[in-house]
Amino acid sequence: MLRSIARANGAAVLIPVAAALLLSGCATLGGKKKGDTAYVARDVETLYTEAKERLDNGEYKLAAALFDEVERQHPYSEWARRAQVMGAFSNYMDKNYDKAIESAQRFLSIHPGNKDAPYAYYLIALCYYEQIADVDRDQKITQQALDALTEIQRRYPQTEYAADARLKVDLVNDHLAGKEMQIGRYYERAGRWLAAQIRFQNVIDKYQTTSHTPEALYRLTETNLALGIPAEAKKYAAVLGTNYPGSEWYQKAYTLFEKKEPQLAAS
């Protein structure tokens, strides 16, 4: 199967264009190029082919409108089903993510068992994935991306879409862990040790394979010392030393205990 590769958020995004384009099932017809999608009754093959040509030429917004017109003028034809998927893809390429998700979800509600259903689920996941914001912003979209990528793996574990979803889940989890760390640091600076601990513990419990785990272990060491619970602090420092002995965070934990040792001995 042919594929094109785009880049989003520094990661390769698999876009199985041919998986959608092969739905066309017809040779290109020489339709006239129209500047709008005003209602003009046309036979379905001509209308569909013009939409596909617009897509091929990078006119994504107009292509999406024309695919919608296929469905509107010929709602009960096989072409209407094809147009739903292609319209969703056109909106995705136009970065009209909400419309792409809506179109893909409509396709799935009508054709849940169709052979193109895995692609529709994957397209929904991509729409969320490409909107992932930095950790300074609300992470609702990030969570939606994670849910959509997980759904692909659950429903279609042996497909190429699931394989790509597994790679993207790592980045999504890293974003979510980063948000937890940011909030935890904020609480820590404010002296709200218990609130900070909850956030750092979330990273250990939910996102322990991410790059934020060493710092989370250090912060748990730090907050437990601040709360006067040295035994718990030592536990987290030991886990940090066992799993990340060469990290800067283990060195910081070691230095922290050296500074705190006189106070601990006196208490």
Q: Where are the domains of the chain?
A: 4-131, 180-266
Tell me what pLDDT residue 64 has.
Answer: 95
Q: What is the pTM of this model?
A: 0.72
What tens-digit pLDDT sequence spans the chain (267 residues)? 333 333 344 344 454 443 343 344 433 333 444 445 455 566 888 889 999 999 999 999 999 999 999 888 888 888 888 999 999 999 999 999 999 999 999 999 999 999 999 999 999 999 999 998 766 777 889 899 999 999 999 999 999 999 999 999 998 999 999 999 999 999 999 999 999 999 999 999 999 999 999 999 999 999 999 999 999 999 999 999 999 998 999 999 989 888 876 565 555
Tell me what pLDDT residue 262 has.
Answer: 58
The yes or no reply on domain 180-266 and CATH 1.25.40.10 is yes
CA 267, CA 251: separation in Å to the nearest integer? 24
Could you tell me which of 135, 237, 249, 150 has the C-alpha nearest to residue 181?
135
Following DSSP, what letter does each residue of 131-169 receive, concatenated?
TPPPTTS--HHHHHHHHHHHHHHHH-TTSHHHHHHHHHH
Query: At residue 8, what are phi and psi to the nearest 5 degrees?
Result: -145, 130
Domains 4-131 and 180-266 share a fold: yes
Tell me what pLDDT residue 261 has.
Answer: 66
According to CATH, the superfamily of the domain at 4-131 is Tetratricopeptide repeat domain (1.25.40.10)
Tell me what pLDDT residue 29 has.
Answer: 37
